[in-house]
Amino acid sequence: MELLKHLAQISGPSGAEDMIRNTIKAEAAGKCDEVITDALGNLILIKKGDAPNKKKIMVAAHMDEIGIIVKHIDKNGFIRFCAVGGVETRHLVGRRISFLNGISGVIGCEEEEFNKKPALDKLFIDVGALSAEKVNAKIKIGDMAVFCGDTVIKEDTVISKALDNRAGCYILLKTLSKLNRKNDIYMTFTVQEEVGVRGAGAAAYSVEPDYAIAVDVTDTGDTPNAPVMDVQMGAGAAVKIMDRSVLCDAYLRNFIIETAKRNNIPYQTEIMADGGTDAGRIHITRGGIKTGGISIPTRYIHSPSEMASISDINACIELLAAVLNEL
C-alpha cells in the first residue's frame, strides 16, 4: 500500500492539482499507449483495445482534495480564508494545515465561537507570525492549503487525509496492469470535483465514451447513530445505484453486479442520499452517456482522518478490472 500512502500525502486542492497529476503520470509511465492532459488539467491515460467490436470506456477518479484559500491577512498576521470544496468547520479548530509552498499553520477560532460549531468567517490561520508584513513575505492572497493527516496502515485498515479520492486514483493505477486488450480504456484523473464536478464534464465531452464508470468514496451506515444506509466498511466494493447527482444506468449497474457474482468478488449496493461524484456530470454530457459507479466505503469523509478497508479497495480493483475486460 505504499503507493496509496504516497498519493494521499501529496497536496492537491481543487484547481491546484499539478503535483498529484505529475505523480500519477510518472507512476503510469510505460503502462498505457497515450497520455493526454487537457486544458482544465484532467489527465487521461489511454490503453487501446483490439477487439473488432471494441467499446470506448471512460473510468473517472478525481485527483483533487478539499482545502482552503487565503482571502485576507490582518495587521497582526492572522489569515482569513474561504473553503475550497465541502469543508466542515467542526473538524477544523486546532487542525494543522500545510500551504503548497510548505508553510505550516494552525486553525484558530474567535473565542466566543470556541464551544460551538463555528462559522467559517470566525476561523483564522495562525502561522506563528506577529505582523502582516512577516506573513506577506511568505503567504499571499489566493494561496491554497490542505489539511494535514498522516497515513496510517494497520492490518485491513487505512486512515489518512485525502482518501477522497486518492483511493480512487490508486484503484485506477492498479487496474491498468490488469487490463486485456479488448476495449479502449480511458483512465481519467479529473480535476475540480470537490467544487462542482467541473473536470469530469469537460473530459467526458472530449472522450465521448460508450460507457463511463466513476470511482470514488461513499459514506457508510455502520457507525453509531449513522444515517440509515446499507453500505458497510469491510463488506466489499460498493456498486452505485444512485446518489444525489445520478441514477446509474440500469444495464451497466446490473452488468457490474453480475460480473462481481461471476468472479466471486465481494460487493454491496449503494444508495447515497447526500453527495455526488463525477458520474453526476458525466451521464448528462453530450447526448447522454451510460454511466455507473464503483465506490470505496469510507468513514469520516472530508475529515483529516478518513478511514477505509484495504480489502474493500482490493475488491474495487478486481471488480473494475473484470468489468473493463468483460464489458
Active site residues: 193
User: Cα separations (Å) of 235 from 75, 222, 268?
Assistant: 52, 11, 7
Indicate the residue type of 169: C
Distance CA 17, CA 9 (A): 13
**Cβ neighbour number for residue 174 with a 10 Å cutoff:** 19
- Which runs of consecutive H residues, i.e. helices, occur in 34-126? none
Q: For 164, how many CA atoms within 13 A lie in the half-sphere containing its CB?
A: 30
The values of phi and psi at residue 116, to 5°, are: -140, 175
User: Cα separations (Å) of 126 from 103, 106, 245?
Assistant: 11, 5, 37
Task: List the one residue out of 199, 205, 279 whose CA is nearest residue 238.
Answer: 279
